[in-house]
Structure 1
Amino acid sequence: MGNPYNTDLDRNPANYQPLTPITFLERAASVFPDYTAIIHGSIKRSYSEFYQRSCQLASALSKKGVNRGDTVSVILANTPAMLESHYGVPMCGAVLHSINTRLDAATIAYQIDHANTKVLIVDREFISAIRSALELSKVNPILIDYSDSEFPISDSLSEAVEYESFLSGGDSGFDWLMPEDEWDAISLNYTSGTTGNPKGVVSHHRGAYLLAQGNALIASINKHAVYLWTLPMFHCNGWCFPWTMSAIIGTHVCLRHVKPEPIWDALSDYKVTHLCGAPVVMSTILSLENSKRRLLENRVEFFTAAAPPPEKTLTEMNVSGFNVTHLYGLSETYGPAVVNEWHQEWNDLNKEKQASLKARQGVRYLPLESLDVVNPKTMKPVPHDGKTIGEVMFRGNVVMKGYLKNKKASEESFAGGWFHSGDLAVIHNDSYIQLKDRSKDIIISGGENISSIEIEEVLHKHPAVNAAAVVAMPHEKWGESPCAFIELNKNQKASEEELGQWCRDNMASFKLPRKFIFEAIPKTSTGKVQKFILRERVKN
């Protein structure tokens, strides 16, 4: 007997539309056209203006021949142009590729080549790196440069069209494109490569839609909340918050540079309710002396990821008017997919116990279907004993579509019907997970993922270096920073200053080891470096 609820009708436009976060902005502009969507210094734009400018961008890109599946790359600070790109680019069917503004020219060149970038939008602050990247690149994208009125720079790319001029050629009433399928790509974000080149994480409209709504529900974000941009939007598309804020008709407060006084000014002037960032943002906030801090009229929700913040930092944030919630996720999960859900009864525990609970990554996000800690060899869940280590694995609609042009890596990451994170953890009897190590030796410094292998490869190219091993070292401000153990070749010399300059010349500055230790590197009988010994050496 067949299913009695089968109507024998196919999906049709009346009862099925592909999910896309673009509709959040369209609805906000329709229902609250005059409500303030964006504040950036002296700039204040309504939802109607935000929507119209995004349509203009989509229209202008279409007129330049940008079609479905084309890549539009942007290297922008947290500005209105970056928010407009999160809507305008997918509105014309293209895929948004946000470039980390801290990357070196060679890495940028690799990314725009691999993504086959058709259009490149550049903030003038980063023109120097882009000029060098274009000299190394094999593609020849259409160039658009963005001049921020709040941070004017006269330097420009001679062959580029200025952003506002480009926008003026577009139609604010552009009939934008819905995705043909909600699984169509909406964005491309590159991981920090652990071996070889970084991988391009492809995200889809469905996942972005669901995580954007999940943010609002998990964070209990009320309608008309005010969000301060201290998290770079190039990080996993700002954890999908560019789309979340339209869903709740909130206000974006753009902040170009993360500095203590502008943060406190914005918190007070605009009555900010929410912000996100790595632990280093908390350190920045707390670095301003009390006499210079502005009065906060409301308690501020702060969402952090990366290494758990120290108990002292959590206490200082609480006293300063912030409630801190710990999140965890990856580029492959659109940003946060795990949250440390706090139980009210935990407020009665002593500070030591609270700190141990805060240090856990937590439980699955609302739009994530499954989260577990699994033995990667047997693919069976580990016991919920808080002791047995396994690999964190994800399953659900907020897991990436796959890696761009890398079928082998995609298949490996999805082996057994789970996404393999590469992170090692335990799971407690209440199903809260807690990270214990990173199987790929990624160092998380100030929210940036740094590959220890990448640094080691650079050091091994120095003529005086026989062997190098890089591990995470605790850092008061950044959470973690790279520490390099060095074995020199016989009869060779190299100082800490020399190797520091060598690294500076061959990689992005935020990846530089902050300490060099010259000694024999411990290895197993088969020659494998015993990094756990090195980690213990730099623990304190």
Structure 2
Amino acid sequence: MDLQTGSMEGLLKCSAVNYVPLTPISFLERAANAFRGRTSIIDGTSVKYNWEETYDRCIKLASALSELGISRGDMVATLARNVYAMQELHFAVPMAGAVICTLNTRHDSAMLSVLLKHSDTKVIFVDQHLLQLAQGALDILANEKVTPPLLVVISESNNSYHTIVNSNSYEYESLLESGNSEFSVRWPTSEFDPISVNYTSGTTSRPKGVVYSHRGAYLNTIATFLLHEMSSWPVYLWTVPTFHCNGWCLTWGLAALGGTSICLRQVYPKNIFENIAEHKVTHMSGAPTVLNMLVNSPVSDRKPLPHSVNIMTGGSPPPPQIISKMEELGFRVHHLYGLTETYGPGTYCLWRPEWDSLPPNEKYKLKARQGVQHLCSEAVDVMDPLTMEKVPEDGKTIGEIMFRGNTVMSEYLKDEEATKEAFKGGWFHSGDLAVKHPDGYIEVKDRLKDIVISGGENISTVEVERVLYSHPAIFETAVVARPDNHWGQTPCAFVKLKDGSNASDQEIINFCRDNLPHYMAPRTVIFQDLPKTSTGKIQKFILREKARALGSLC
């Protein structure tokens, strides 16, 4: 190549010497060599493997899938909690050339049947404890004259599953052991080949399957462990579901660093503190509701942290008060923001050293912002969705967060119309409303569908919730719009009080009026448990329906 003219003459372009498709499954092959005897997975008291063993097991599992007839591009689904098999399947399925589809364990059988049909799943791996749920979905497919996928049951490690449900049923360990350890990995032919499908919001009539590529997964994996400040040999506690954005891409990332996965099947404060103490956990992740659960846990459930533990939080804006209390407990909070369509993390609140000297209230308000794009994202900005112009960096003008680059999804599976709509104007439209501050940091104000419009004024439910969380009696809260014949809409607060605490609806309304402009204060307060997704995000669509059913106050 002539460096002055840029001529490519004589250059061996894209040969095996200087180009291979990027894929996160390459991390595992390296881990088997570089980290060999380092522990890769711990699940309870009876499952413990090192990286060399994990690599061998994944090779055999990929081989077994091939023997079941799985070909390039076929869909292989999972329905499981954070069990060791989920770690292995994230490598073995793409090593067989297939696409992994991790299904939400909170779906009912009807929804699961829709997703299995929509994705053309050929094989489904099911946690033994979720077998009845999966079997219900398979029965629905059979009744619809749809060929159901082959079933592989993931047994409890100390309680092997022997009962064959039907002739198309297998047991995980037996299937794995049937594989050939000399199997040749089916590397992607293109780094844009799909590696996974993650279903996000949608309806039974129009499910939305987000397609990830090998390239995007590789790059976002690197970005995620960098923003989590992981170095070699981290010990990671799985409090985020591995089915959510492929565990924020850390199912693959831990192999890159020789880390140890500590599987956690039930996310309770006592379990979390015990595992941190026992395994010397260095990193974990969780939605703000998980953080809230930890800071409000009984003292009897807690154990002293062996060292500062890095915790990554995202999914919804964390109240500054919760961040403050977490750091008092010894956790170091990293705040990220993203969507399923951005492979999970897309931005993070990059901490600046000069902020360390700020008063606590100011410091934690800064940390609650969504921050700046991560290393592997081409561009993230706040824009007017109509004009596609950037909003001024004044911390006041609201626009929509938009993404562009290698870590944006490939498409919505089988939905060209929805993909075109999401990519309108050459950017991915997040649906999240935000401002951009003079320092370039983004701060989410609300979901487009969650904003309350009262008397022509836009009310950020996030700002109202932030004030509510500062009330000493409130454990958790969510604010939605309630119809109003005069104002159009007014804020309606759903509140769960802390155990042993008391507060009336009027007391809470007055508290908000003392700390907010009066028009932003809730006019309705409803006391109840808040519905949540399996990742801990509050399901506002359920609360919106309930508020809508209440009708107008006047």
TM-score range, shorter chain: 0.7 to 0.9
In structure 1, distance between residues paired with 2:55 and 2:497: 39
Q: Which residue of 2 aligns with 1:377?
A: 386
State whether residues 41 and 150 of structure 1, in contact with CA within 8 Å, keep that contact through their aligned partners in structure 2: no
Whether 1:59 and 2:68 are equivalent positions in the alignment is no
State whether residues 52 and 173 of structure 1, in contact with CA within 8 Å, keep that contact through their aligned partners in structure 2: no
Seen in structure 2, the aligned counterparts of structure 1 residues 129 and 291 have a Cα distance that, compared at 3 Å, is closer
Counterpart residue identity of residue 130, structure 2: F
Kindly report which structure 2 residues correspond to 1:104-183, keeping only aligned pairs within 5 A, or say none: 104-137=108-141, 138-149=146-157, 157-159=165-167, 160-183=169-192
Deviation at 1:251, TM superposition (A): 0.6
Seen in structure 2, the aligned counterparts of structure 1 residues 475 and 5 have a Cα distance that, compared at 3 Å, is farther
Output one character per residue of 1:432-456: Cα deviation in whole Å (capped at 9) or x when no partner.
Answer: 11111212449999xxxx9x99xx9
Whether 1:75 and 2:79 are equivalent positions in the alignment is yes
Whether 1:434 and 2:443 are equivalent positions in the alignment is yes
In structure 2, distance between residues paired with 1:471 and 1:115: 39
Counterpart residue identity of residue 175, structure 1: S
Counterpart residue identity of residue 222, structure 1: S
In structure 1, distance between residues paired with 2:497 and 2:64: 43
Kindly report which structure 2 residues correspond to 1:444-459, keeping only aligned pairs within 5 A, or say none: none
Unaligned runs of 5+ in 1: 457-468, 479-499, 501-508, 523-533
Kindly report which structure 2 residues correspond to 1:93-492, keeping only aligned pairs within 5 A, or say none: 93-137=97-141, 138-149=146-157, 157-159=165-167, 160-193=169-202, 197-441=206-450, 473=493, 475=495
Q: Which residue of 2 aligns with 1:19?
A: 22
Counterpart residue identity of residue 87, structure 1: F
Output one character per residue of 1:289-341: Cα deviation in whole Å (capped at 9) or x when no partner.
Answer: 33442232210001111222233322221111101111110111000111011
Further displaced range: 79-88 or 146-155: 146-155
* 1:44 counterpart SS class: strand
Q: Which residue of 2 aligns with 1:49?
A: 53
Q: Which residue of 1 aligns with 2:31?
A: 28
In percent, how many aligned pairs have the same letter?
Answer: 44
In structure 2, distance between residues paired with 1:429 and 1:213: 28
Seen in structure 2, the aligned counterparts of structure 1 residues 477 and 59 have a Cα distance that, compared at 3 Å, is farther
* 1:207 counterpart SS class: helix
Deviation at 1:344, TM superposition (A): 1.5
Deviation at 1:107, TM superposition (A): 1.4
Counterpart residue identity of residue 317, structure 1: M
In structure 2, distance between residues paired with 1:333 and 1:183: 15
In structure 2, distance between residues paired with 1:230 and 1:13: 40
Counterpart residue identity of residue 345, structure 1: E
* 1:381 counterpart SS class: coil
Deviation at 1:261, TM superposition (A): 1.6
Seen in structure 2, the aligned counterparts of structure 1 residues 210 and 296 have a Cα distance that, compared at 3 Å, is same
In structure 2, distance between residues paired with 1:312 and 1:238: 26
Seen in structure 2, the aligned counterparts of structure 1 residues 153 and 360 have a Cα distance that, compared at 3 Å, is farther
Deviation at 1:358, TM superposition (A): 2.0
In structure 1, distance between residues paired with 2:250 and 2:304: 26
Further displaced range: 303-312 or 382-391: 303-312
Seen in structure 2, the aligned counterparts of structure 1 residues 51 and 387 have a Cα distance that, compared at 3 Å, is same
Further displaced range: 345-354 or 268-277: 345-354
Seen in structure 2, the aligned counterparts of structure 1 residues 287 and 139 have a Cα distance that, compared at 3 Å, is farther
* 2:289 counterpart SS class: helix
Output one character per residue of 1:475-523: Cα deviation in whole Å (capped at 9) or x when no partner.
Answer: 5699xxxxxxxxxxxxxxxxxxxxx9xxxxxxxx97754994587646x
Q: Which residue of 1 aligns with 2:525?
A: none
Counterpart residue identity of residue 39, structure 2: T
* 1:101 counterpart SS class: coil
Q: Which residue of 2 aligns with 1:503?
A: none
State whether residues 145 and 156 of structure 1, in contact with CA within 8 Å, keep that contact through their aligned partners in structure 2: no
In structure 1, distance between residues paired with 2:10 and 2:496: 62
Deviation at 1:201, TM superposition (A): 0.4
Seen in structure 2, the aligned counterparts of structure 1 residues 378 and 292 have a Cα distance that, compared at 3 Å, is closer
* 2:28 counterpart SS class: helix
In structure 2, distance between residues paired with 1:376 and 1:311: 29
Q: Which residue of 1 aligns with 2:526?
A: none
Seen in structure 2, the aligned counterparts of structure 1 residues 411 and 201 have a Cα distance that, compared at 3 Å, is same
In structure 2, distance between residues paired with 1:141 and 1:307: 35
Seen in structure 2, the aligned counterparts of structure 1 residues 26 and 477 have a Cα distance that, compared at 3 Å, is farther
Deviation at 1:113, TM superposition (A): 0.5
Further displaced range: 91-100 or 118-127: 118-127
What is the RMSD of the two structures over their aligned residues, measured on CA atoms?
A: 3.1
- Count of aligned residue pairs for this structure pair: 478
In structure 1, distance between residues paired with 2:206 and 2:163: 31
In structure 2, distance between residues paired with 1:513 and 1:183: 39
Seen in structure 2, the aligned counterparts of structure 1 residues 514 and 399 have a Cα distance that, compared at 3 Å, is closer
* 1:227 counterpart SS class: strand
Seen in structure 2, the aligned counterparts of structure 1 residues 77 and 436 have a Cα distance that, compared at 3 Å, is same
Counterpart residue identity of residue 212, structure 2: S
Seen in structure 2, the aligned counterparts of structure 1 residues 230 and 470 have a Cα distance that, compared at 3 Å, is farther
Seen in structure 2, the aligned counterparts of structure 1 residues 472 and 202 have a Cα distance that, compared at 3 Å, is farther
In structure 1, distance between residues paired with 2:277 and 2:492: 36
In structure 2, distance between residues paired with 1:396 and 1:518: 38
Deviation at 1:185, TM superposition (A): 0.1
In structure 2, distance between residues paired with 1:472 and 1:166: 52
State whether residues 164 and 170 of structure 2, in contact with CA within 8 Å, keep that contact through their aligned partners in structure 1: no
In structure 1, distance between residues paired with 2:103 and 2:86: 11
* 1:213 counterpart SS class: helix
Q: Which residue of 1 aligns with 2:13?
A: 10
In structure 1, distance between residues paired with 2:51 and 2:89: 15
In structure 1, distance between residues paired with 2:275 and 2:544: 32
Output one character per residue of 1:112-161: Cα deviation in whole Å (capped at 9) or x when no partner.
Answer: 11100000111111112212212222341111111122687888734421
Seen in structure 2, the aligned counterparts of structure 1 residues 147 and 383 have a Cα distance that, compared at 3 Å, is same
* 2:59 counterpart SS class: helix
State whether residues 143 and 161 of structure 1, in contact with CA within 8 Å, keep that contact through their aligned partners in structure 2: yes
Deviation at 1:170, TM superposition (A): 0.7
Deviation at 1:173, TM superposition (A): 2.7
* 2:101 counterpart SS class: strand
Seen in structure 2, the aligned counterparts of structure 1 residues 227 and 470 have a Cα distance that, compared at 3 Å, is farther
State whether residues 239 and 335 of structure 1, in contact with CA within 8 Å, keep that contact through their aligned partners in structure 2: yes
Seen in structure 2, the aligned counterparts of structure 1 residues 32 and 309 have a Cα distance that, compared at 3 Å, is same
In structure 2, distance between residues paired with 1:63 and 1:471: 57
Output one character per residue of 1:328-373: Cα deviation in whole Å (capped at 9) or x when no partner.
Answer: 1011100011101111111211222123212211110111010001
Output one character per residue of 1:51-107: Cα deviation in whole Å (capped at 9) or x when no partner.
Answer: 111111110000111001100010011011000110000001100000000111221
Counterpart residue identity of residue 135, structure 1: D
Counterpart residue identity of residue 206, structure 2: N
